[in-house]
């Protein structure tokens, strides 16, 4: 009886009816988190634009604040070494005050950095959400608009730059926009698969079927494209440094292919 029950349990586990007791708890937690995340995204996609933008901005700002607070703990010792100017110092030397504010913005404590990062990430995510809903796509223009807004708001809350606040807002926004636009284009370039060379489509297929795909570079180096397949000879393959065995397989394949054989007979 005991063996029979054990056999039934094994069958049920194999069918997914009974969860295995030795499953990794960390993997279970990851699966649960992904399930919650997918459910949240599905719910968010059904909401109106203002609701979605508000939720995305708030959650992104909270994440940015957490990152900023952590970064602020690393720079807290540096910011504490900055001198505290007297109240009347701002009217005496505006440029010096602007430089001091800029240094404090870049090396502030946890609260300052949490505020800065919350503004940057929240505004960026909110504008990106609105642009995606309105335009129906994510492209470099939307990314740069979001980055401009993020940089402009960062300039306002942090006091970065010189005494001319309007110019600082525009300059910071343009800097953020150009930087994010460049990163967006760079990411696109490396994420796109390389374009397939149409002149070597049949050659690639032939080499793959023969298990000789490593010699595709030899064909390209010798400019032996699809149009030259019916004209291939042993000496031509030897000139591109293909060994004797693969040469025999390639020539035999060409001889057995009716279409290539017919093209070779044409005047």
Q: What is the pLDDT of residue 42?
A: 85
| Domain end among 191, 220, 253 | 191
Same-domain pairing of 56 and 168: yes
Report if residue 102 sits inside a domain: yes
Calculate the alpha carbon distances from 21 to 3, 9, 18, 28 in Å.
19, 12, 9, 11
Same-domain pairing of 204 and 242: yes
Stretch among 20-29, 55-64, 217-226, 232-241 having the lowest mean pLDDT: 20-29
Report if residue 36 sits inside a domain: no
Report if residue 3 sits inside a domain: no
Most confident of the following: 40-49, 92-101, 175-184: 175-184
Same-domain pairing of 108 and 68: yes
Same-domain pairing of 68 and 144: yes
144-186 tens-digit pLDDT: 999 999 989 988 887 766 667 788 889 888 999 999 988 888 8
CA–CA–CA angle 212, 213, 215 (5° rounding): 80
pLDDT band at 44 (very low <50, low <70, confident <90, very high): confident
Calculate the alpha carbon distances from 57 to 6, 120, 132, 160, 231 in Å.
53, 10, 14, 23, 64
Same-domain pairing of 178 and 50: yes
Report if residue 171 sits inside a domain: yes
**What is the percentage of the chain residues whose pLDDT exceeds 70?**
73
Report if residue 49 sits inside a domain: yes
Q: What is the pLDDT of residue 106?
A: 59
Report if residue 158 sits inside a domain: yes
Total domain count, the chain: 2
Which CATH number fits the domain that encloses residue 249? 1.10.150.50
Same-domain pairing of 100 and 183: yes
Stretch among 37-41, 77-81, 259-263 having the lowest mean pLDDT: 77-81
Same-domain pairing of 132 and 57: yes
55-78 tens-digit pLDDT: 999 999 999 999 988 888 877 655
Same-domain pairing of 165 and 248: no
pTM exceeding 0.85: no
Q: What is the pLDDT of residue 112?
A: 84
Q: What is the pLDDT of residue 14?
A: 47
Q: What is the pLDDT of residue 56?
A: 92
Same-domain pairing of 148 and 210: no
pLDDT band at 103 (very low <50, low <70, confident <90, very high): low
What is the gyration radius of the CA atoms in the chain, in angstroms?
32
On the 0-12 / 13-18 / 19+ scale of CB atoms within 10 A, 192 is: exposed
Mean pLDDT along residues 39-45 = 84
Q: Is the pLDDT of residue 117 over 80?
A: yes
Same-domain pairing of 223 and 170: no
Same-domain pairing of 52 and 144: yes
Domain that includes residue 242, residue range? 198-265
The mean pLDDT value of the chain amounts to 79
Q: Is the pLDDT of residue 17 over 90?
A: no
Report if residue 33 sits inside a domain: no
| Domain end among 134, 167, 191 | 191
Same-domain pairing of 159 and 209: no
């Amino acid at each position: 009886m005991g063996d029979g029950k054990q056999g039934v349990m094994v069958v049920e586990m194999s069918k997914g009816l009974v969860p295995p007791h030795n499953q990794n708890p960390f993997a279970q937690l990851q699966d649960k988190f992904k399930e919650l995340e997918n459910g949240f995204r599905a719910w968010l996609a059904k909401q109106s634009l203002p609701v979605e933008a508000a939720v995305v901005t708030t959650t992104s700002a909270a994440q940015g604040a957490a990152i900023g607070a952590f970064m602020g703990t690393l720079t807290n010792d540096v910011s504490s070494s900055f001198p505290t100017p007297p109240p009347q110092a701002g009217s005496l030397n505006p440029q010096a005050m602007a430089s001091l504010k800029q240094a404090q913005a870049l090396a502030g404590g946890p609260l300052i950095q949490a505020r800065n990062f919350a503004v940057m990430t929240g505004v960026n995510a909110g504008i990106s959400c609105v642009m995606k809903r309105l335009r129906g796509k994510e492209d470099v223009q939307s990314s740069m608009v979001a980055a401009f807004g993020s940089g402009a708001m960062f300039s306002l809350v942090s006091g970065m730059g010189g005494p001319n606040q309007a110019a600082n807002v525009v300059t910071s926004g343009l800097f953020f926009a150009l930087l994010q636009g460049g990163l967006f284009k760079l990411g696109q370039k490396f994420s796109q698969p390389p374009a397939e060379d149409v002149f070597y489509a049949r050659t690639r297929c032939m080499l793959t079927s023969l298990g000789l795909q490593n010699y595709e570079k030899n064909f390209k180096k010798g400019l032996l494209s699809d149009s030259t397949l019916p004209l291939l000879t042993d000496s031509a393959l030897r000139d591109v440094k293909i060994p004797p065995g693969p040469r025999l397989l390639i020539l035999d394949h060409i001889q057995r292919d009716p279409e290539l054989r017919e093209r070779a007979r044409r005047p």
